[in-house]
């Protein structure tokens, strides 16, 4: 049963520290997405990749967030420096574009980040 995996599942850090979240997409998927979920804002798209190339990161605060795909099996989201307002659950999702009519995303379990 193929799944998206994310590490760590929980992270507590102090303001100003660097945070790195990792995602392993489903093998063979060619799109990867990073989302942030909070009670106030709901689900927000931060960035996404197709075939490892970044296509859209307009949802990310550029001064502190960065997203990369060093290879097809790993996507990373970094926050440096972290701030209390970054506290949220961060989801990674992957998908395979087979055709315009056959496309869906599979979500990982999320990383719950708390910045104190």
Partner 1 sequence: GDSVTQMEGPVTLSEEAFLTINCTYTATGYPSLFWYVQYPGEGLQLLLKATKADDKGSNKGFEATYRKETTSFHLEKGSVQVSDSAVYFCALSDRGRDDKIIFGKGTRLHILP
Note the residues at the interface with partner 1 (CB under 8 A).
4, 31, 33, 42-43, 45, 48, 50, 55-56, 91, 93, 95, 97, 99-110
Kindly tell me which of 72 and 81 has the beta carbon lying closer to partner 1. Answer: 72
Cα separation, 31 vs 66, whole angstroms: 17
β-strand pairing of 88-95 with 74-79: unpaired
Q: 34: burial class by Cβ within 10 Å (0-12, 13-18, 19+)?
A: buried
Q: How far is the CB of 82 from partner 1 (least distance, A)?
A: 22
Kindly tell me which of 37 and 81 has the beta carbon lying closer to partner 1. Answer: 37
CA atoms 38, 2, 59, 21: torsion sign: positive
Q: How far is the CB of 4 from partner 1 (least distance, A)?
A: 8
Q: How far is the CB of 65 from partner 1 (least distance, A)?
A: 18
């Amino acid at each position: 049963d193929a799944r998206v995996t994310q590490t760590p599942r929980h992270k507590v850090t102090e303001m100003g520290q660097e945070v790195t979240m990792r995602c392993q997409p489903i093998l063979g998927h060619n799109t990867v997405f990073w989302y942030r979920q909070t009670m106030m804002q709901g689900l927000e798209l931060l960035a996404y990749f197709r075939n490892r190339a970044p296509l859209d990161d307009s949802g990310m605060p550029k001064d502190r967030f960065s997203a990369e795909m060093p290879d097809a099996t790993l996507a990373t989201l970094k926050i440096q420096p972290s701030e209390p307002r970054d506290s949220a659950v961060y989801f990674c999702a992957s998908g395979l574009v087979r055709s315009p009519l056959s496309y869906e995303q599979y979500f990982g379990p999320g990383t719950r980040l708390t910045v104190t």
